[in-house]
Amino acid sequence: MKAFAAAVIAAIALGVLAMYALTSNQTFAYQAFATSGTRVSEPGINLVGPKWNGMPVVGEANDAAHGKAEGEASHPKRS
Amino acid sequence: MRRAVTLFSTLVLATTLLAAPGAFAPARAQNPITQDGQNPMGAKPTADSVNEEFLFKNADKITGRVSIPDRKSANLIQPQGREYRAFRESWLPWIGGLGILGMIAALAGFFLWRGRILTDDTQESGRKILRFNAFERFAHWMTATCFIILSLSGLNYIFGKRLLMPLIGPEAFGSLAQWAKYSHVYLAWPFMLGVVIMVAVWVKDNIPNRIDWAWIKAGGGFLGKGHPHAERFNAGQKGVFWMVAGFGAAMGVTGLMMLFPFTVLDINGMQVMQVIHALIGVAFIVGILAHIYIGTLGMKGAYDAMGSGEVDLAWARAHHDLWVEKQQAKTASGPQLTGRHPAPAE
């Protein structure tokens, strides 16, 4: 029983150690791949939108994901 | 006469008007300007341009150019991704489900047919022999507890959204899956360490030899009565050892490829690693299910070896007679523990 308890404690301890080791070397994609001229996504926003529930609802998902263009339509330029 | 000339002239004019389009038709058909997709020189402007078929002859995916440091985002078309998705969403759940449920059914059937493999209580000696020392048990249980968490969290990748999410709802499943992912990623490290320790400690006792072949031919004590000769580990245990060593190494390597994505491999390689990781993971779980069965329910006295570390001397003689002889030859005091020094496990 002592060996089992020690094994569980050691597993958790090593797991926590691995967590700190891994997270110290990780950065978010929007941080790692952004440049001074390029913005990559934003924290907390994903492509499927905030109301995504896994169900393939056509239309609603697309609206939430990409949004709709708002405002007046632009007029063609006259040359 | 004048009327005849007028009639003749009208006929000639009408004939000319009718025949003219037919006469000029071939010439107009050959005029390149009137043909769609052709320039005035008669050549198709897109004939020599690259197309999808041409690009796939040069590479297994079509890429573009991006200005951000993430070059992977330049991938435009990767056909292998469709094959990977088909495997991930269609084949893998069936392979995993049939494999695991099949093993559980096979073990249940074996238990109903064979029952628990017992050792006669009257033959127990009352004396104990140390089968696994504390460090060996520590390494085993560290690996085992990690394996169980890794298995459950790994199966959640395959079956979670199909089985769990409809039961507990998407929000609870999202939290559960997030923690399962954390446990999978972080407990992989003590698991890999445990496999390395176990291999280092037990490899010398797991080299196959002729005794193993005789053990297999005798059915290993599962099929007939009595137990064939065995050293510290019989052929079945050696099979489990090499399975853990091989599958553990494969899971470790493929897992590291995924823990550090795109460090060594591209997107195709990442998908191949996931397929290998998933298939070996399922086979690993199936194999360990049999190991758990025979170590607990399937055989009386087997759990004590890894539980307390000590087994009854009679049980050890029945299952590992050659090992007991060696232990007794090593220690002048014999292998019993009660009131004396414990026999070394090695």
**Predicted local distance difference test score (pLDDT) of residue B2:** 64
Cβ contact, residue pair A6, B138, below 8 Å: yes
Distance from CA of A73 to the nearest CA of B (A): 30
| Calpha distance B258→B264 (Å, rounded) | 10
Q: Which helix (H) or strand (E) holds B239?
A: helix B235-259
| Calpha distance A49→A62 (Å, rounded) | 9
Cβ contact, residue pair B137, A4, below 8 Å: yes
| Calpha distance B305→B148 (Å, rounded) | 20
**Predicted local distance difference test score (pLDDT) of residue B77:** 87
| Calpha distance B37→B83 (Å, rounded) | 36
**Predicted local distance difference test score (pLDDT) of residue A64:** 46
Cβ contact, residue pair A8, B70, below 8 Å: no
pLDDT in tens, chain B (346 residues): 566 667 667 766 667 666 655 555 554 555 545 555 566 666 777 777 777 777 777 778 888 888 878 888 888 888 888 999 999 999 999 999 999 999 999 999 999 998 888 776 666 777 889 999 999 999 999 999 999 999 999 999 999 999 999 999 999 999 999 999 999 999 999 999 999 999 999 999 999 999 999 999 888 877 766 788 899 999 999 999 999 999 999 999 999 999 998 899 989 999 999 999 999 999 999 999 999 999 999 988 889 899 999 999 988 988 898 999 988 888 755 544 544 444 443 3
**Predicted local distance difference test score (pLDDT) of residue B22:** 56
CB proximity A9 to B under 8 Å: no
Nearest to A33 among B68, B185, B307 (CB): B68
| Calpha distance B74→B63 (Å, rounded) | 5
CB proximity B183 to A under 8 Å: yes
CB proximity A56 to B under 8 Å: no
CB proximity B38 to A under 8 Å: no
| Calpha distance B238→A7 (Å, rounded) | 23
CB proximity B70 to A under 8 Å: yes
Enumerate the residues of chain B whose CB falls inside 8 A of the CB of residue A37: 67
CB proximity A27 to B under 8 Å: no
Q: Contact at 8 Å (CB) between B255 and B188?
A: yes
A34-77 residue pLDDT tens: 888 877 766 556 666 667 666 766 655 454 444 444 455 555 55
**Predicted local distance difference test score (pLDDT) of residue B224:** 67
Cβ contact, residue pair A15, B134, below 8 Å: no
- The amino acid sitting at B174 is G
CB proximity B46 to A under 8 Å: no
CB proximity B256 to A under 8 Å: no
Nearest to A7 among B138, B188, B309 (CB): B138
| Calpha distance A37→A23 (Å, rounded) | 27
CB proximity A57 to B under 8 Å: no
| Calpha distance A35→A28 (Å, rounded) | 13
Distance of CA A51 to the CA centre of its chain: 14
The residue of A33, A46, A55 whose CB has the most chain B CBs within 10 angstroms, and thus the best one to mutate to test that interface, is A33
Q: Contact at 8 Å (CB) between B129 and B305?
A: no
ipTM of the complex: 0.76
Distance from CA of A68 to the nearest CA of B (A): 25
CA distances from B273 to A75, B52, B150, B195, B270 (A): 52, 27, 17, 20, 5
A43: phi > 0 → left, psi -120 to 50 → alpha, else beta; which?
A: beta
Enumerate the residues of chain B whose CB falls inside 8 A of the CB of residue A48: none
Nearest to A33 among B69, B183, B186 (CB): B69
Enumerate the residues of chain B whose CB falls inside 8 A of the CB of residue A11: 142, 145-146, 187, 190-191
The residue in chain A having the minimum alpha-carbon distance to the alpha carbon of residue B132 is: A3
Enumerate the residues of chain A whose CB falls inside 8 A of the CB of residue B67: 35, 37-38
